[in-house]
Amino acid sequence: MAVAGIDSHKDTLAVAVVDEQGRELGRLEAENTPQGHQRLLVWLGVLGASRVGIEGSGSSGRAAALRLKQAGLAVVEVPPQLTAQARRRQRTPAKSDPIDALLIARITLRDADLPQIRPDGALEDLRVLVHHRRELRAERNRMANRLHADLEQLRPGYQERIGRLTTARNLDRARRLLAGDSRVRARVARQRVARLRQLTGQLEETTDEIRRLAAAFDSGLTTICGVAELAAAELLAEIGDISKYRTKAPSSRWRTARRRCPPAPGAPIGTG
């Protein structure tokens, strides 16, 4: 059985194929394009490679990985840490794309339990949305901090009348506070207000879509005390299909018991 290793980059894919003893059978550099993926698939077929390990299957190598998987090859992800460890064990720990591809191929041959690449589908859509929501929240926080700095200079003490700059109501107040001010900083601040309103709307839409998608998975995560809908979606996005971790389906009595969160420290405990 021949095994291939792919070191993926934005523009190219460095590929090496080894036999069952880890001896190199061939090397290829293919374009990271649909045409390059087809060329790679034909070349792997000629060398008889049926298992492929790829570093970067979630980023620059994802399109190639999905194409190979669609063609029936067993495609697995090789974490970059394993490649780095293998490189350090060499006599000359130099880094190059062909050398890394060969190391990835030998790791794929050696390790039978490497993770499968993430398939397309509802779970991948959920992951994309969860990551997008994180980016929107980070951008909104940065923009709110910049607007706060502007308002401190333009309207000292504004925070006594306006609270957090992430709600539509407070953004409307900030806009009215800046109305009629022709200074450059005020004009920029009004643009920040408009961008914050846009980000808030995008966050609400994305959050609603995440809730709808997460609800379609019968994960049982929200039956765990303290795990709400969005937290369950975050876990699903990072872990993937959690059914492989289940030993058996929880009983309805267990589910009911798990919903009862323990009381907060110091809170009175009821008798009923």
Q: Specify if 98 maps to a domain.
A: yes
**Same structural domain, 59 and 170:** no
Q: Specify if 263 maps to a domain.
A: no
Q: Specify if 117 maps to a domain.
A: no
Say how many domains are in the chain: 2
Domain boundary among 87, 110, 133: 110
**Same structural domain, 23 and 143:** no
**Same structural domain, 150 and 84:** no
Q: Specify if 262 maps to a domain.
A: no
**Same structural domain, 103 and 168:** no
State which residues form the domain around 126.
Answer: 122-255
Q: Specify if 140 maps to a domain.
A: yes
Answer for the pair 83, 53: CB distance below 8 angstroms, yes or no. no
**Same structural domain, 177 and 82:** no
**Same structural domain, 197 and 173:** yes
**Residue-wise DSSP of 143-189:** HHHHHHHHHHHHSTTGGGT---TTSHHHHHHHHHHHTT--SHHHHHH
pLDDT tens-place values along the chain, 272 residues long: 899 999 999 999 999 999 999 999 999 999 999 999 999 999 999 999 999 999 988 889 999 999 999 999 999 999 999 988 888 887 666 678 889 999 999 999 999 999 888 878 888 888 899 999 999 999 999 999 999 999 999 999 998 889 899 899 999 999 999 999 999 999 999 999 999 999 999 999 999 999 888 887 766 666 677 667 777 777 777 776 555 555 455 555 545 544 556 655 554 444 33
Q: Specify if 271 maps to a domain.
A: no
